[in-house]
């Protein structure tokens, strides 16, 4: 992916509205990566710098270039309110009227919802994993019981009968 990413950065280096960059999350870029929820490498984030989103598309040059051309453009935000629909304008107006403490509380509420969603996901995946292990063990035991009940022996006898050997 790195060669395609470097090619993409070069292709968009003179853009006034699209920034294609990379950040080393293991060195001086670590605080930026931590603040934006980067958990694995390489990660691609896009959108408003104050609200970066995870990129979910393909990682070849053509797909990345098409995404950049279609999606990396000015979007609805307080700085670009003219690009917002009426609902978003109302939402921005509501937030602009809030005190900083109220905004912090609202942000904390939403961030807690994200943490709760992640924790619920991890808990449920652990349950699925536990269930999978039990089902796998049950299946192995059932297959062993079938074999022990005589499946292998009856197949052997059948083969022997077909070959004309009735020796015991």
Per-residue model confidence (pLDDT) at position 47: 83
Cross-strand bridge partners of residue 54: 45
**pLDDT at 154 exceeding the cut of 80:** yes
108-148 per-position pLDDT tens digit: 999 999 999 999 999 999 999 999 999 999 999 999 999 99
Three-state DSSP at 129 gives: helix
Print burial letters for 95-120: b (CB count within 10 Å at least 16), e (below 16).
eeeeeeeeeeeeeeeeeeeeeeeeee
As a dihedral over the C-alpha atoms of residue 108, residue 114, residue 120, residue 121, rounded to 10 degrees, the angle is: -160
Per-residue model confidence (pLDDT) at position 74: 83
């Amino acid at each position: 992916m790195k060669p395609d990413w470097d090619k993409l950065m070069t292709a968009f280096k003179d853009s006034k509205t699209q920034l294609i960059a990379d950040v080393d999350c293991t060195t001086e870029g670590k605080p930026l990566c931590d603040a934006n929820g980067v958990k694995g490498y390489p990660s691609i984030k896009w959108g408003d710098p104050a609200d970066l989103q995870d990129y979910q598309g393909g990682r070849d040059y053509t797909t990345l270039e098409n995404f950049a051309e279609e999606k990396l453009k000015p979007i609805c935000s307080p700085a670009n309110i003219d690009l917002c629909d009426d609902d978003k304008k109302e939402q921005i107006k509501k937030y602009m009227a809030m005190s900083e403490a109220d905004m912090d509380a609202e942000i904390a509420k939403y961030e807690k919802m994200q943490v709760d969603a992640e924790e619920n996901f991890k808990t449920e995946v652990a349950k699925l994993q536990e269930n999978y292990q039990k089902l796998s063990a049950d299946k192995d035991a059932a297959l062993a019981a079938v074999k022990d009940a005589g499946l292998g022996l009856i197949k052997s006898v059948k083969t022997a009968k077909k070959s004309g050997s009735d020796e015991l």
